[in-house]
Amino acid sequence: MYETILVTGGCGFIGSNFILYMIKKYPGLKIVNLDKLTYCGNIENLKSVENNPNYKFVQGDICDPELVNNVFKDVDAVVHFAAESHVDRSIKNSYEFVKTNVLGTQVLLDAALRHNCKKFHYVSTDEVFGALGEEGKFSEETHYDPRSPYSASKASSDHLVRSYFHTHKLPIVISNCSNNYGPYQFPEKLIPLFITNLLEGKKVPVYGEGANIRDWLHVLDHCEAIDLIFHKGRVGETYCIGGDCEMKNMDITKMILEEMGFGDEMIEYVEDRKGHDFRYAIDFSKLSNELGWNPRFNFRDGLKQTITWYKENTDWWKKLKHENSTYFNG
């Protein structure tokens, strides 16, 4: 068990859910949250723990070596979430993605090495593997084939993290997850965008014909998996995390419309994304067999809970949409 862990990007969607999960499960664990507070980092996500004596927030950039080294003096392990993560933004401008996702990870790795970090868990994505056809699933043995600047930056970091294990014997683990959903997700991603648009009386934008397929993972299932991999995963290994829930974008769209009392008239078909991967699916049998993890959430139940959360937290997402109105308005 680690005494103090550094969580990078802890004010983001998955990072904030992870911190809340860990503080609840391990009351004696100390957590340092390093976050730059970019557009998708929201300090209000962690308002419920801001006065917890075992929680400390540090605002800063993972690309700043001096700051990162100072932070590492007080921690003995790391869970690294911090990343630019939206594919559409990476297509428009890839610079910040390479800077944060690759160079930022390199700064963290160097600091971890310098301070004899006991575990470095890098949280990655299934998008590094590219796209699947009608059959098959991604696994830890799948060859890398990133198709967007975002996924290329994450793939680069995967390789960089692995290289520090092979070259320097830094105790690392990597996890590659499928699409997450749940509370606190920035409303540019598919599920929260569609929910919040409908709450505002706006149509939902569907790429192409909505035929693209994704595997959906509830963020709390993901947090539980990260916890297991971080504490019990084999050093130097990669673990794939999936939700066992493949769905076409159109099927999800219609499920959201149905749950919120709307019909197909609220669908707006838009030009397909450049390089849009057709299908993702994950074989998480390694994680299941080695560590006993399986997803708990039924997708429809998780979606209902997510819709309820956004209905009950309108001030949270309306502020974000207002502050990023140029992006959300096209």
Percent of the chain exceeding pLDDT 90 equals: 88
Give the start-to-end residue ranges of the domains of the chain: 4-180+215-241, 187-214+248-277+300-328
Report phi then psi at 78, rounded to 5.
Answer: -135, 140
Q: pLDDT digits over 43-68, tens only?
A: 999 999 999 999 999 999 999 999 99
Task: Spot the catalytic one: 35, 61, 84, 127.
Answer: 127
Query: In this predicted model, which residue has the larger pLDDT, 89 or 222?
Result: 222
- Is residue 126 part of the annotated active site? The answer reads yes
Please enumerate in sequence order all residues whose Cβ is within 8 A of that of 297, keeping only pairs 6 or more positions apart, or say none: 218, 220, 221, 243
- Name the nearest CA neighbour of 205 among 190, 227, 184: 190
Instruction: Indicate the fold that domain 187-214+248-277+300-328 takes in CATH.
Output: UDP-galactose 4-epimerase; domain 1 (3.90.25)
Instruction: Indicate the fold that domain 4-180+215-241 takes in CATH.
Output: Rossmann fold (3.40.50)
Q: What distance in Å separates the CA atoms of residue 63 and residue 74, rounded to the nearest whole number?
A: 18
- The token pair at 9 is 């990007």
- The residue-averaged pLDDT of 146-173 equals 96
Q: Does residue 328 surpass a pLDDT of 60? A: no
Task: Spot the catalytic one: 126, 188, 224, 227.
Answer: 126
Task: Spot the catalytic one: 122, 150, 184, 280.
Answer: 150
Q: Does residue 278 surpass a pLDDT of 90? A: no
Strands (E), 64-126: 77-80, 120-125
3-state secondary structure of 130: coil
Give CA angle at 128 (127, 131), nearest 5°: 55
- Name the nearest CA neighbour of 219 among 177, 180, 191: 180
Please enumerate in sequence order all residues whose Cβ is within 8 A of that of 40, keeping only pairs 6 or more positions apart, or say none: 12, 13, 85, 86, 186, 188
Sign of CA dihedral 40, 44, 50, 54: negative
pTM equals 0.94
Of 78-92, 120-134, 163-177, 208-222, least confident by mean pLDDT is: 78-92
Q: Mapped to the 3 state alphabet, what secondary structure does 238-278 carry?
A: EEEECCCCEEEHHHHHHHHHHHCCCCHHHEEEECCCCCCCC
Q: What distance in Å separates the CA atoms of residue 282 and residue 208, rounded to the nearest whole number?
A: 24
Q: What distance in Å separates the CA atoms of residue 281 and residue 132, rounded to the nearest whole number?
A: 8
Q: pLDDT digits over 115-129, tens only?
A: 999 999 999 999 999
* DSSP code for 235: T
- Is residue 239 part of the annotated active site? The answer reads no
Q: Mapped to the 3 state alphabet, what secondary structure does 135-192 carry?
A: CCCECCCCCCCCCCHHHHHHHHHHHHHHHHHHHHCCCEEEEEECEEECCCCCCCCHHH
Q: What distance in Å separates the CA atoms of residue 251 and residue 211, rounded to the nearest whole number?
A: 9
Report phi then psi at 50, rounded to 5.
Answer: -60, -25
Q: Does residue 327 surpass a pLDDT of 70? A: no
- Is residue 150 part of the annotated active site? The answer reads yes
